[in-house]
Chains A and B, each alone.
Chain A
């Protein structure tokens, strides 16, 4: 091959893989910087001019940001759950996607923390959550676990970096990567533990709000039922998100990167978990209706405020729950790539919707009888600063894909 026609940075590519010209790559990265800059401007406005630039208000202390935060962390569950399946349940096939799941996880968790950095009113004091920690607060639990887990994710990501063709040539880094690989099951186990906790705690965030009958749930020990439902819903959708992002990466690169049987394993597990989740969620909903009714808040009052009508419930549990579940459970439907991707999209949207409902709708429902319903629609600042992390994530994924040996099956699936 003529070395002059090879990309300038070819030496950094994973062994035996092909990548586009550096020029095109840089152009792609530059293109992502467009919307990223808009998002950065939005974030700077929040910090410079205070949060009055958003549509948040005293009725909606939580808005798009918190819903997105909870959503993105649930999607990131693909990382720890795939790790769990790979290293602890030992489904060996998943080694072909676990690396990418980690990359996606890093992006999701970084996004969650980034969004929170914009959301809080005094970001410079953000660390008070650790310094003045209140052990009773679900948010404290979330903060500690997420931060710890993010470090775990970075440690899981590190060997991928060290295995870069050039870095790996350096003996020290090579050895380090090797050792990290050895330790991976143990690290994954810590990650699983932490993740279960913070996914649950995120469920606890709305679930403990006993002043908000819409969100409040009874529970087990110190945890409201939402604690467990959040864990379950996160692991039911995380794998779908991993499939979805892998599929999108394949479409962007024009290559097959992972064998379909790997997708199928994840999809099957996702479908079953989703089924379990939906059963429990339905029981929870019925119990909640009865409980609220007994306490004097008729169920109908929760859905009396437009746009939050009963359709919300139908959409969340039906269209974004039962339908993807059926697709994922059916062997034939699951193996149809179009249907599979549709199921993944529905499943992931369902998570977002659920997190929105549990935070924003929970605040939208007036509690005092003389309280008025106030509508809330996020404004561009909130959208742009939330999407900022999507663009940043795309950049991280692009760079990681280009330079790091993420997909073990890539060489096999794309012979030179």
Chain B
């Protein structure tokens, strides 16, 4: 299928992305579990060390740093931001550094891929990603007896020593495309390709779609005056937008650590 697309300048391109409504997000964690269940993420007896735990979707809890009873918290669900980068020199942070072309920015879909079987575990991409998106398999994944039965055959299991991350549930795009192809359609409907976390979110806080498509919800939502992106100033040009009516939350998302006059502390 890939070959067929070569040289087709007029090929339609998509910019799949998300708009997460932080006013709706309750921090419930269903997106995290939805993602783990969908993407065959392993678990361990003790996962309490976040620096070694594997989550493709991580919901951060942040606080406004004020004292009781003026304190406030918010949640920031953080999948891979599928950074587009600015230009050739500032390409997707993780993509440009990977020595083995394991990870790539697709200009057709806007999705940053990861080929686990090619990754040799140098972890340079992790150093490049400012969002702590990429996680390393510090252990061989194992499942208790019988539990392998629930594994999703559409997503390969990863071995130790390689890096993995959120794929925007790429296999769901493939599934949707296969279906559309079988039905003789070139276009996908908005709801045909939705990520597992979007689907799992009981609050409907995660919106997913083509940021370029005026008919998609995300197209309108990203233009909300309260919309922002994480660390926008870095120029990573992410495709995950957030909306919050709380100014301190918008500021926290946009700021570097220690930004002057900032009172954001990790929840």
Per the CB under 8 Å rule, do A and B touch in the complex?
yes
Q: Which of A368-386 contact B (CB under 8 A)?
A: 368-372, 374
Q: Which residue of B lies closest to A134 (CB)?
A: B101
Given contact pairs A137-B97, A137-B99, A120 touches B258 in the complex (Cβ within 8 A)? no
Indicate with 1 or 0, residue by residue over A44-71, a CB within 8 angstroms of chain B CB atoms.
0000001110001111111000000000
Q: Which of B26-34, B118-126, B143-151, B239-247 contacts A (4 or more CB under 8 A)?
A: B118-126
In angstroms, Cα B119 to Cα A122, docked, is: 8
Question: Is A194 in contact with chain B by the CB < 8 A criterion?
Answer: no
B127 touches A62 (CB 8 A): yes
Q: Quick check: A210 and B258 within 8 Å, CB to CB?
A: no
Check A61–B127 contact: CB distance below 8 A: yes
> Could you name 19 residue pairs across A and B whose Cβ atoms are closer than 8 Å?
A50-B161, A52-B52, A56-B138, A58-B134, A58-B136, A62-B123, A116-B122, A128-B100, A129-B100, A295-B233, A296-B259, A304-B258, A362-B127, A366-B257, A368-B131, A369-B252, A369-B262, A370-B76, A370-B265
The reply to whether A208 and B96 contact each other, CB–CB distance below 8 Å, is yes
A141 to chain B: closest residue by CB: B99
Contact with B along A288-324 (1 / 0, CB 8 A): 0000000111101100100000000000000000000
Contact A209:B97 (CB < 8 A) given known A296-B255, A298-B260: yes
Per DSSP, chain A at the interface is loop
B266 adjacent to A372 (CB under 8 Å): yes
Chain B residues, Cβ within 8 Å of A295: 233-234, 256
- Residues of A near B89 (CB, < 8 A) are 222
The answer to whether A138 has its CB under 8 Å from any CB of chain B is yes
Chain B positions within 8 Å of A125 at CB level: 118-121
Given contacts A120-B121, A300-B258, contact A210 B100 (CB under 8 A): no
Q: Within 8 Å of chain A (Cβ to Cβ): is B160?
A: yes
Given known A51-B136, A57-B52, contact A369–B257 (CB-CB < 8 A):
yes
CA distance in complex: A205, B127 (Å): 10
User: Which residues in B have their C-beta under 8 angstroms from that of A62?
Assistant: 123-124, 127
Specify the chain B residue showing the minimal Cβ separation from A205.
B124
Q: Is the CB of A213 within 8 A of B256?
A: yes
Q: A50-B161, A295-B256 are in contact. Are A133 and B127 (CB under 8 A)?
A: no
Query: Is A132's beta carbon under 8 Å from chain B?
Result: yes
Q: Does A211 contact B (CB under 8 A)?
A: yes
Most buried by A among B60, B95, B130, B139: B130
Cα-based distance from A222 to B91 in the complex (angstroms): 12
Name the residue of chain B whose CB is nearest to the CB of A300. Answer: B258
Main SS of the interface on chain B? loop
User: Quick one: given A52-B52, A137-B97, A208-B97, are A369 and B161 in contact (CB under 8 Å)?
Assistant: no
Given the interface pairs A138-B97, A304-B258, A369-B256, the reply to whether A51 lies near B52 with Cβ below 8 Å is no
B100:A301 contact, CB within 8 angstroms: no
Residues on A with beta carbons closer than 8 Å to the beta carbon of B111: none
A residues within 8 A CB of B128? 209, 211-212
Measured in the bound complex, the distance between the Cα atoms of B230 and A374 in whole Å is: 21
- Does B93 reach chain A (CB closer than 8 Å)? yes
Q: Which of A171-222 contact B (CB under 8 A)?
A: 205-206, 208-213, 222
* Beta-carbon nearest neighbor of A136 in chain B: B96
- Report chain A residues within 8 Å CB of B264: 369-370
**Cβ-defined contact, B130 with A369, below 8 A:** no
Please state if B138 and A57 are interface contacts (CB–CB under 8 Å). Answer: yes
Least Cβ distance of B119 to chain A in Å?
7
B98 close to chain A: CB less than 8 A: yes
> In the complex, what distance in Å separates the CA atom of A141 from the CA atom of B128?
17
- Flag if B100 contacts A133 (CB, 8 Å): yes
Which parts of B141-186 form the interface with A (CB within 8 Å)? 159-163
Q: How far is the CA of A133 from the CA of B99 in the complex (A)?
A: 6
Check B123 against A61 for contact (C-beta < 8 Å).
yes
Q: How far is the CA of A53 from the CA of B260 in the complex (A)?
A: 39
Q: Apart from A62-B127, A304-B258, A369-B253, what 10 extra A-B contacts exist at CB < 8 Å?
A: A50-B161, A51-B138, A60-B51, A121-B123, A139-B124, A143-B99, A211-B131, A297-B258, A300-B258, A365-B257
Q: Is B132 located at the chain interface by the 8 A CB criterion? A: yes
Task: Judge if B102 is at the interface, Cβ distance under 8 Å.
Answer: yes
Which residues of B lie under 8 Å from residue A231 when comparing CB positions? Answer: none
Closest chain-B Cβ to A148's Cβ sits at a distance in Å of 15
- Judged by a CB distance under 8 angstroms, whether A126 is at the interface is yes
Q: CA–CA, A185 to B131, complex, Å?
A: 48
Measured CA separation A58–B76 after assembly (Å): 19
